[in-house]
Chains A and B, each alone.
Chain A
Amino acid sequence: EAGVAQSPRYKIIEKRQSVAFWCNPISGHATLYWYQQILGQGPKLLIQFQNNGVVDDSQLPKDRFSAERLKGVDSTLKIQPAKLEDSAVYLCASSLGGLAGDYNEQFFGPGTRLTVL
């Protein structure tokens, strides 16, 4: 079974530039998560999708971050414009979701390490 795929693995940009990350979840996983993990901290949820609908985006800085999950499969996360404090690893995760969603394991992708100069 293929895992969660993410690209690019690394990205270096200057502040005020824009950047986009891509995630392909495990086949059949209805729930997709984007997390931001700053060095030395635990992952912080940015947005959760159930199929192609947003379940929770309460911690997404909507003035600069956007995300979409068209057709309920792949997802993209965009930052425009980037700030220095956006330097972090952006993790995508997926899980089966559904009625047993609370006990479904999250599978994480390898992450995208973003450096904003």
Chain B
Amino acid sequence: QKEVEQNSGPLSVPEGAIASLNCTYSDRGSQSFFWYRQYSGKSPELIMFIYSNGDKEDGRFTAQLNKASQYVSLLIRDSQPSDSATYLCAVKGYGQNFVFGPGTRLSVLP
């Protein structure tokens, strides 16, 4: 059973701070890693994906991947109240399906 784990939160950070969201996965064959944002009552939307070890930056978002530790994280710099949402980590092996984690609720306090 392939598993993806995340802290359920809520993770509360003050406006302007860095929010750090973490995800671990059980399948060493996983090759691509996705972060989705889901506002309450809405469907998930892709923030970014990463498939190479190291960091990948996109605006205020940075994804970090460490395949040896089976760990992927998402950093949100200069957090805004509009970033308050549930963040879903999804993992995929080549030719396999997406496995989603339970999500971490982030609350950015004004």
Write the residues of chain A forming the contact surface with B, with a CB cutoff of 8 angstroms.
Answer: 33, 40-45, 48, 56, 91, 101-103, 105-106, 108-111
For residue A9, give the distance in angstroms from its CB to the closest CB of chain B. Answer: 11
Q: Please, which residues of chain A bring their CB within 8 A of the CB of B92?
A: 102
Q: Please, which residues of chain A bring their CB within 8 A of the CB of B17?
A: none
The listed residue (B31, B32, B42, B44) touching A43 by CB distance below 8 A is B44
Q: Please, which residues of chain B bring their CB within 8 A of the CB of A111?
A: 43
Known: A108-B43, A108-B45. A102 touches B102 (CB 8 A): no
For residue B72, give the distance in angstroms from its CB to the closest CB of chain A. Answer: 14
The listed residue (B32, B42, B88, B94) touching A42 by CB distance below 8 A is B88
Known: A103-B49, A108-B44, A109-B43. A45 touches B32 (CB 8 A): no
